[in-house]
Structure 1
Amino acid sequence: MKNKFILVAALAIGFAGCEPEFENEVNAAYSSGEADFTRYVAVGNSLTAGYMDGTVSRVGQTYSYPNLLAQQFALVGGGVFTQPSFTEDVNNLGGIAGVPGFGNRLVIDASQNRPEPIAGTSTVTLTPQAKAYNNMGVPGAKSFHLLAPGYGSQAGLLTGTANPYFVRHATSSTATVLADAMTKNPTFFTNWIGANDVLAYATAGGAQANGVTPAADHNATGNLNPVTYGFNDITNSGVFNNVYTNIINTLTINGAKGVVCTIPSVTSIPYFTTVPFAPLSPTALGGPTNITALNTQLYGPLDAIFTALGEPNRINPLTATAANPILINDADATDRSAQITGALTPTLGATTAAAFGAVFGKARQATSGDLVVLPASSVIGSTNSAAPAGININGVTFPMANRWVLTSTERAKVAAATTAYNNSIVAIAASKNLAVADMNAVMNKLITGLKIETNSIYTANYFSGSGTEGQVLFSLDGVHPNARGYAVIANEFIKTINAKYKSSLPLHNPTYFPGISILPTN
């Protein structure tokens, strides 16, 4: 978006009538086919930049899928491929010094058995490089940001109109990402933009984070002016279509061929699928005695109130025989603050009843249709210092804030926008006879297991220990691939290119690429 996005393209696309060639194999028949890779340019966001483990680092950037593609293009006449310089990242920590929210890369501290930022002070600075590169992926960029003058202006950082990553290499304070990309006069391009147009809304927990300005779905608001959008807003699909058309018209103006990518569904990435909606085991709740007390003092009375108001399953008593769902605050739920206050006043008194009404007025238990975001794992069951005494355990006696859960209603908005964007991407690509890498389709295959050419099987799971580390394609931020994941992505591009442009390019062998960084101590 930091917040950003994810994986891969059509598994069904392969080499016609032959076994796949891997990078370690020698084959004099490699060919560029109908494509010209002399000047390859990649535009996009964090996925294109090689972002992983929550940042761009010197070593991590070398595994960006455009860099891996360029290595194979070089076998058939591809030219020099450049990426924004991270040579100052001497200790490979990533981050950006002095910029809040842009911290060091995540690692697993084996002594603590948890992910955490690697120790040390970032040496990456905002020193302007004033240079266009072949890899013009900018972490955090939405579709319309590629056309925004001043997106690389250091002064714009103070007003929120600029991006620190583009500030580092924009050719001028008024340059646009797309214009800088076009100075390379591409003969071939890849374009994977649009994930952030909807992903930022989803990773922020959807429509409203408690105490923060609500995010908006501009398909619903009809707002066609992206200058007025907040970062977490969903881009209007009409705006996306117009912007994407402009981007593709520009990239192809001199006859360049290329590949565009569909946007994966948020339901297929570990950031939204790792933490279950019902994680509260009887043991975690303190056993049967404590569960009975919770039901008597809290869950039972709330269930009775909601049932009387026609919402019998909004909150149910806890069970001592299975895992229970967390309590959440739902921005779209009917506000029952007044009814709760009135019902509880005779037994609790007006002041305490009013406090309960304020806390639980928009509360409900999570369901299988809700997605709990990855960072919530460290919040569930913790004490909320801002909550009233006695009902201050997050997810148990105090509803989880909106930012920790993408509700089923919010999830539907994300799905609708993703579908609209992908329809535009496919249609616009067809109008220019461009190849389409269907990353959305392959990401959905990862949910049940994706078998690649080496017979390795990968899943869309989060790191859960060294025993399954080899099957994980995602980095520790739960959104972006690790190096092995980027190799799989590059291969899907290659298969798409070979099929569309009659090229003969070898695949990378993902098993040769590293997975998660595990340190004995940090």
Structure 2
Amino acid sequence: MKNYKYIGLLLLSIGFASCDVDNTLDPIEEAMGPEIALDVKDLNLSKYVAVGASFTAGYTDGALFKAAQENSFPNILASKFSMADGGEFNQPLMSDNIGGFVAGGNAVQPPRLYFNGAGPTRLNALPTTTLGARAAGTSFNNYGIPGAKSFHLTFAGYATLNPYFGRMASSATAKVIDDAKAQQPTFFTLSEVGGNDVLGFATSGGDGSDMITPPSVFDNSFNELVIGLTTNNAKGVIATVPNITLLPYFTSVPYNPVPLDAATATAVNAAYAQYNGGIQQAFGALVAGGKMTQAAADAEVAKRTISFSAGQNAVVIVDEDLTDLGAINPAFAALPQLRQTTAEDLLVLPSSAFIGTLADPSNPASVNGVGVPLADKWVLTATELAAVITATEAYNTTIKAIANSNNNIALVDLNAILIEASGGIRFDNYTMTTSLVTGGLVSLDGIHLTGRGYALMANKILEAMDAKFGSNFTTATNGLAKADDYPTNFSPTLR
């Protein structure tokens, strides 16, 4: 597997001198194929507008910053469109390469992550982009709004709620879609709309602090966006919503991250003996009272029994989807809804720094995930995962139906691309995967893409355009982005 960190190359120039002998050699020219001119058929790329969320903005490594914006897939596309009379592409650039916002001399949104040799860590620097200050420029082509859900893009006044849109909105009461329409696009991309509609729920472990957008709300919003962008018969590309739970934010921490020796496992089991006995007693009583079948009771007891052994162990979690024994019989109200994780559960990336810490520094038995169960926010259970996938599939049904019914719209299947990348996807001389840090596709925050990942995304959009509209970006000379032109990591010295 390739190492995706920057690698410096030392070039040595060696000179040979002779009075009598000419040591120069004729240069060997690299064999080049014939140039293929770009042909975009009847596409009008003179005014390209991009609408979407954080991917569209170029968000990477947990922040938005200038270098990342310059590597956004819309900016990459615009550079290719310039080969076919594509016009200027203006972005609301941040003030620095630190990322985050500052207000009153304090960081109110943190700077970007960098790789310190051991793992992702926040840059120790103060942002210079002032919260609430308008971005330089009077009109923009990139309406990628980090954090935006589908209905936010059609909501009047969203600029007062989202500082990224606030930096570029035409007014405090503007809608993203109306400002985008005002640019009178001849071509557009509408990408990753719907991702944030499930992402907040998933990253919070389904703890109720953020909810999944109902498909009916998504449908109305997405249709309004498409209608608005195609008002002047503009053509464009829309994208499916990827299954976000395939991203390393959800796949990097194993369900069984706790190593124990035999003696410690025995001690932990002794501490849970009373709980295990109470569970058996409670379900036995439910069976005896005719309130549950023996088979159902046995299954729930097996699911809820806490058992550790020497080796790697699953963590203990609170699962509100387990039977609430107290609601059935108040005598069992003291029994919590506990179980250990299985391979079907997804521990979120921040849990890696929390599991194994002490809830009470003075109590060595209060190990989070072992003696102290993990709260809902640290894990996406199988039930919660199913809710994310169900909503994503519903969103994609709508997106695909719109693309199939409109000759002016091409479809790029980001979901299929992410599934492929989970096993390795080829980009020039690289095989990119979704592994955190080393995979090359996903940035250090475990959710957003690297610069090279956005270049791959741009190429997939160009492929979709060729397939739908008959253009030839995929075969034209310099028609596609080159992997080596885009980074996978940014140096901490870049400010």
TM range, smaller chain: 0.7 to 0.9
| Aligned residue number for residue 276 of structure 1 | 254
Say if 2:459 is the partner of 1:485: no
- Indicate how the Cα distance of structure 1 residues 328 and 100 shifts in structure 2: closer, same or farther if over 3 A, else same: farther
CA distance in 1, matches of 2:303, 2:66: 51
Shift, 1:450, TM fit: 1.3
Of 463, 467, 489, which residue of structure 2 is paired with 1:516?
Answer: 489
Partner of 1:141: 148
Match of 1:403 among 373, 377, 388: 377
| Aligned-partner Cα distance in 2 for 1:296–1:341 | 26
Change (3 A) 1:137 1:389: same
Contact 1:277–1:370 (Cα < 8 Å) also in 2? yes
Residues 305 and 455 of structure 1: CA distance in aligned 2, closer, same or farther (over 3 Å)? farther
Pair 1:398–1:340, CA change in 2 (3 A): farther
- Given the alignment of the two structures, is residue 437 of structure 1 paired with residue 412 of structure 2, yes or no? yes
Q: Deviations over 1:408-444 (max 9, x none)?
A: 1111111110000000011122222211100001101
Distance in 1 (alpha carbons) for counterparts of 2:119 and 2:246 = 22
For residues 340 and 513 of structure 1, what CA distance do their matches in structure 2 show?
A: 61
Contact 2:107–2:127, Cα closer than 8 Å, also in 1: no
Is the aligned partner of 1:417 residue 2:417? Answer: no
Q: Give secondary structure in 2 for the equivalent of 1:122.
A: coil
Please list, as runs of the form range in 1=range in 2, the aligned pairs for 1:360-375 lying within 5 A after superposition. 361-375=336-350
- Equivalence for 2:79: 71
Q: RCO (CA 8 Å, sep 6+): is it higher in 1 or 2? A: 1
Tell me the equivalent position of 1:128. Answer: 134
AA aligned to 1:335 is: D
3-state SS of paired residue (1:281):
strand
Q: Report the counterpart of residue 315 of structure 2 in structure 1.
A: 326
Task: Give SS of 1:290's match.
Answer: helix
Amino acid at match of 2:486: F
Q: 1:38 to 1:115 in 2, by over 3 A?
A: same
Matches within 5 A, 1:451-490: 451-452=426-427, 454-463=428-437, 469=438, 471-490=439-458
Q: 1:393 aligns with which of 359, 367, 370?
A: 367
Structure-1 separation of matches of 2:434 and 2:43: 32
Change beyond 3 A, Cα 1:204–1:515: same
Of stretches 424-433 and 368-377 in structure 1, the one that deviates more from structure 2 is 424-433
Match of 1:56 among 39, 55, 64: 64
Partner in structure 1 of residue 122 of structure 2 = 117
1:341 and 1:304 map into 2 onto residues whose CA distance is 17
Cα deviation code 1:389-412 (max 9, x no counterpart): 565211011111111111111111
User: In the TM superposition, what whole-angstrom CA distance separates every residue of 1:441-496 from its partner, at most 9, and x where no partner exists?
Assistant: 110111111123x2421111111xxxxx3x42111110000111111111111111
> Equivalent of 2:262, from 264, 284, 288?
288
Instruction: Say if 1:474 and 1:482, in contact at 8 Å, map to a contact too.
Output: yes
Alignment partner of 1:249: what SS?
Answer: helix
Alignment match, 1:317: 307
User: C-alpha separation between the residues in 2 aligned to 1:291 and 1:438?
Assistant: 46
**Distance 1:30-1:323 versus aligned 2 partners, 3 A rule:** same
| 1:143–1:240 CA contact under 8 A, matched in 2 | yes
What SS is found at the alignment partner of 2:441? coil
| CA shift in 2, pair 1:484/1:73, >3 Å | same
> Matched residues in 2 for 1:186 and 1:509: separation?
27
Q: Structure 2 unaligned runs (5+)?
A: 1-31, 284-296, 474-478
* Separation (CA, whole Å) in 1 of partners of 2:414 and 2:485: 22
CA 1:25–1:392: 2 relative to 1, 3 Å? farther
Aligned residue for 1:41, secondary structure, equals strand
1:82 aligns with 2:121: no
What is the TM-score with the length of structure 1 in the denominator?
Answer: 0.79
Write the mapping of 1:374-389 to structure 2, written as runs, cut at 5 A. 374-385=349-360, 389=363
- Whether 1:494 and 2:462 are equivalent positions in the alignment is yes
Map of 1:95 onto structure 2: 100
Say whether the 8 Å CA contact 2:100–2:107 is kept in structure 1. Answer: no
Partner of 1:104: 111
Q: Whole-Å Cα distance in 2 between the matches of residues 268 and 101 of structure 1?
A: 30
Q: 1:119 to 1:184 in 2, by over 3 A?
A: same
For residue 242 of structure 2, give the secondary structure of its aligned residue in structure 1: coil
Asked whether the 8 Å contact 1:306–1:312 carries over to 2, the reply is no
Matched with 2:276 is 303
Cα pair distance change 1:325/1:169, threshold 3 Å: same
Q: Helix, strand or coil for the counterpart of 1:447?
A: helix
CA distance in structure 1 between the partners assigned to 2:165 and 2:464 by the alignment: 29
**In structure 2, the residue corresponding to 1:43 is in which secondary structure?**
strand
Aligned to 1:156: none
Q: Which amino acid aligns with 2:463?
A: K
Query: Which segments of 5 or more consecutive residues in structure 1 lack a partner in the other structure?
Result: 1-23, 154-161, 209-213, 216-231, 344-353, 464-468
d(CA) in 2 for partners of 1:25 and 1:201?
Answer: 51
Offset at residue 315 of structure 1 (A): 2.6
Aligned to 2:168: 169
Aligned mates of 1:28, 1:338 — CA distance in 2: 72
**Equivalences, count:** 436
Is 1:199 aligned with 2:204? no
- The structure-2 alpha-carbon separation of the partners of 1:364 and 1:84, relative to structure 1 and needing over 3 Å to count, comes to same
Q: Conserved in 1, the CA contact under 8 Å of 2:358 and 2:364?
A: no
Query: Does the C-alpha gap of structure 1 residues 518 and 367 become closer, same or farther in structure 2, counting only changes over 3 Å?
Result: farther
CA separation of 1:374 and 1:136: change in aligned 2, threshold 3 A? same
Q: Provide the rounded CA distance (Å) in 2 between the counterparts of 1:302 and 1:65.
A: 53
Q: 1:424 to 1:53 in 2, by over 3 A?
A: same
Instruction: Supply the distance in 2 between the matched residues of 1:96 and 1:457 (Cα, whole angstroms).
Output: 35
Query: Could you say which residue in structure 1 is the equivalent of 2:423?
Result: 448
- The ranges of structure 1 where at least 4 consecutive aligned residues each deviate by more than 4 angstroms after the TM superposition are 336-343, 387-391, 518-522
The answer to whether the Cα contact below 8 Å between 1:303 and 1:312 also exists between their aligned partners in 2 is: no
Are the counterparts in 2 of residues 268 and 446 from structure 1 also a CA contact under 8 Å? no
Q: Could you tell me which residue of structure 1 aligns to residue 291 of structure 2? A: none
* Percent of aligned positions that are identical: 38
Kindly state the Cα deviation for residue 519 of structure 1 after the two structures are TM-superposed: 4.8
CA distance in 2, matches of 1:265, 1:85: 29
